[in-house]
A = this chain, B = another copy of it.
Amino acid sequence: MSVNTFGRVFRFSTWGESHGPALGAVVDGCPPGLNLDEGTIQPFLDARRPGQSKFTTQRKEPDAVRILSGVFEGRTTGTPISLMIENVDQRSRDYSEVARAYRPGHADYAYDAKYGFRDYRGGGRSSARETAARVAAGAVARLVIPEVSITAYVSEIGGDAIDPANFDLQEIARNPFWCPDADAAARWAERVDEARLSGSSLGAVVACMADGVPAGWGAPVYAKLDADLAAAMMGINAVKGIEIGDGFEAARLSGEENADPMRPAADGSTPQFTANHAGGIAGGISTGQPITLRVAFKPTSSILTPVDTIDSDGAATQIRTKGRHDPCVGIRGVPVVAAMMALVLADHKLLHRAQCG
């Protein structure tokens, strides 16, 4: 069984391979009457698009989205929205090496073990190109949650973290790393360039925050908001860890340190919290505080250093992965993490409305 659909009420299914003619998403369950055209989606795809700086893969893809259904006279109709992105730059090259030997860290061996064979061109279905479809679907999801503002950024590359004292929201879009700390961005430019030139790669941590989520979204006990976010993030290519709020740091705190005290709102409206160790979720349900999470991306598995591996006959060999690759795949993960946040929240807004009106 293969499961290429995500979500419960607001759902999307993606399809497509790295080197096939196109890839796409079908968004189902979207409320009717929302203003939507290609121009609503394209900026999000542009943010994820490869080849925008020397710090990302040089594959040139316009990633132009087409809406094939579900929109009439500029508004969603409530029927499925089919989004298609054509693959343009499937550079003609020789795949005989990757067809034959398993690249460690990639899904090559696992796919062969599961399916008996695989589309080896550019990683096939396991390529990070699939995330373009998520980003497109995420742009639709954002229309469902206009009350929510989502911010994602890189907080750490290769173990070098931002300084919270330098945090500047405006800085995020100013550098090619989605980095809110200009100093860190300068350091990372050197680190990532060095990795790029040497054919190496670096891991990264992406942080994401959603403001404006009201208290009450989420659901006991197997559709907890944090559980669904964990699945959403862990399913992104190269992700190996996910934390909500203080995450693993919370495991090192005492109960007193970890408490999020409450006090009445100054104006009698929504209550206030004087801390947010919980990351805005308690018992799987939003508390009205910002939802905060952090996602760990491993270093890109494609490196120029030869690594021991086996070929499809099981014989020993070595492989070095040539071709166009991101020296730090976490950078381009930023718009994907933000998209998955939007997709989970849109779904849970509708789920909540279904049960509680």
Contacts and interface: CB of A to CB of B under 8 A. Distances in A.
A159 interface: yes
Copies in the complex: 4
Interface residues of A, number: 154
A309 B261 contact: yes
B215 A109 contact: yes
Interface stretch (A35-43, A145-153, A168-176, A220-228): A220-228
Contacts of A222: 3-6, 231, 235
Contacts of A301: 255, 258-259
Interface in A105-129: 105-107, 109-111, 113-119, 124-126
A8 B15 contact: no
B105 A309 contact: no
Given A17-B69, A81-B15, A354 B356 contact: no
Pick the most buried of A237, A247, A262: most chain B CB atoms within 10 A of its CB: A262
Pick the most buried of A5, A250, A251, A300: most chain B CB atoms within 10 A of its CB: A251
Contact of A105 (B16, B75, B282, B310): B282
Interface in A182-213: 195, 200-205
Given A235-B284, A247-B240, A353 B352 contact: no
28 contacts: A1-B223, A2-B220, A13-B80, A14-B80, A16-B68, A72-B118, A77-B117, A80-B125, A104-B260, A104-B261, A105-B255, A106-B283, A109-B262, A110-B285, A111-B285, A113-B285, A114-B352, A130-B221, A227-B232, A230-B230, A230-B231, A250-B296, A255-B301, A261-B307, A262-B308, A264-B310, A278-B298, A350-B354
